Amino acid sequence: MTEMAYGSVGTVEGEAVLSRWWRTLDKSVLTAILILFSIGLLLGLASSPPLAEKNGLAPFHYVYRQAIFGSLALFVMVVFSMLPSKVIRRLGVIGFLLCFVALGLLPFFGTDFGKGAVRWYGLGFASVQPSEFLKPGFIVTVAWLISANGQINGPPGRLWSFIITMLVVALLIIQPDFGQACLILFGWGIIYFVAGASFILLAALALLVLAAGSMAYSYSEHFAKRIDGFLSPDIDPRTQLGYATNAIQEGGFFGVGVGEGQVKWSLPDAHTDFIISVAAEEYGLLLVVLIILLFTWIVLASLIRLLKERDAFNRLAGSGLVAMFGIQAIINVGVAVRLLPAKGMTLPFVSYGGSSIIAMGITVGMLLALTRVRPQKDIGDIFNGR
């Protein structure tokens, strides 16, 4: 048999699992992820000591934790990237069901850690945010349902996927977590679009989202405060956005120098949601551009491979996963430079965070598994009858 998906690559009978995995993997994406994680550790050395000092911890306490969580995330990513797509689908659906139940129980057993939104389970030694782990499972489940919808005598997967999406969004709004709710809607919309949704339907859904946003603005003080702060022409220099904006301006092209930045002493979330402002201040625009280029490469390289994928589930799930990965990076950077309303969202593999980085390891691991070279014809050959 010959692998035809991305060039002719002969299979080797009895080939070792690791050898086959390495030969069929998108190594450029794996390299980009490793570089992002290394940059995250570098920025953690600069941004986390002030918080550690404030909390009476060792100077590099959060850097050590980031190294541990990140190493676990990379291990999980590699393990998932070795799995066949059928196993990815089964694990994704099971994981989604477990996380959905955990999300539903948050109002009763969860905690807000003083942040005003019940999003976590406190475990004493750590905390777990179910919505982070729900996202990859949600994407896989929706892709499975919508791909099954196109099969002969298949289930009404599109309808079921819409119902599931609305239920997840409702649970997230209860927390409240409008940012994650928007991510879930975006992921479902991308999969539906790739599956061939009509423009009219997508336009109607966009109007529905706008209407829901208007309602949230009217009835949620938390949501309205975020929008008002974004639309205001003036930036309060004592707010997180004010500190972040000033840091980016101070950094210029080459930064103020390693360890010389001041924003980390003012921003409580400098090591998480506003890590890009630390990069801009200490290392300048050059490092920020490098980070953006790495994320862009991961998204484009994955989409190019998925364009040649003929299996409907693999194509839909892969598109949803890479879109979720990319939009989270866009939101994090967009908030820091005030192109988007304030939203607590980490920068994948760069920001500090246990749940977020491990969940992102699962997400990218699934993506790498679905974009691996497999024995199949190119989708163009299918269309041309070859």
Mean pLDDT, residues 49-65 taken together: 84
Q: In a 10 Å sphere around its CB, with 0-12 CB exposed, 13-18 middle and 19+ buried, how is residue 355 labelled?
A: buried
Contacts of 119 (CB under 8 A, 6+ apart): 106, 110, 112, 129, 130, 131, 175, 177
Q: How many Å apart are CA 136 and CA 141, to the nearest integer?
A: 9
Provide the pLDDT for residue 88. Answer: 96
- pTM to 2 decimals? 0.88
Asked whether 158 and 192 are in contact (CB, 8 A), the reply is yes
Provide the pLDDT for residue 6. Answer: 42
Tell me: pLDDT of 385 over 60. no
Mean pLDDT, residues 352-367 taken together: 92
Of the pLDDT bands very low, low, confident and very high (cuts 50, 70, 90), residue 2 is: very low
SS3 of residue 256 by DSSP:
coil
Of the pLDDT bands very low, low, confident and very high (cuts 50, 70, 90), residue 315 is: very high
Do β-strands 121-122 and 2-3 pair in parallel, antiparallel, or remain unpaired? unpaired
Asked whether 268 and 284 are in contact (CB, 8 A), the reply is no
Residue 126 is encoded by which pair of tokens? 């750590």
Cα 254 → chain centroid: 28
Of the two residues 31 and 196, the one the predictor is more confident about is 31
Q: How many Å apart are CA 185 and CA 211, to the nearest integer?
A: 14
Of the pLDDT bands very low, low, confident and very high (cuts 50, 70, 90), residue 273 is: confident
Contacts of 172 (CB under 8 A, 6+ apart): 103, 131, 178, 180, 181, 184
Asked whether 243 and 267 are in contact (CB, 8 A), the reply is yes
In a 13 Å sphere around the CA of 301, the CA atoms on its Cβ side amount to 19
Provide the pLDDT for residue 305. Answer: 93
Of the pLDDT bands very low, low, confident and very high (cuts 50, 70, 90), residue 5 is: very low
Asked whether 26 and 372 are in contact (CB, 8 A), the reply is yes
Residue 153 is encoded by which pair of tokens? 């005598």
Tell me: pLDDT of 12 over 70. no
Mean pLDDT, residues 272-289 taken together: 88
Of the two residues 116 and 162, the one the predictor is more confident about is 162
Q: In a 10 Å sphere around its CB, with 0-12 CB exposed, 13-18 middle and 19+ buried, how is residue 208 labelled?
A: exposed
Question: From the CB of residue 293, how many other CB atoms can be counted at a distance below 10 Å?
Answer: 11
Q: How many Å apart are CA 277 and CA 302, to the nearest integer?
A: 27
Q: In a 10 Å sphere around its CB, with 0-12 CB exposed, 13-18 middle and 19+ buried, how is residue 262 labelled?
A: middle
Phi, psi of 41 (to 5 degrees): -65, -40
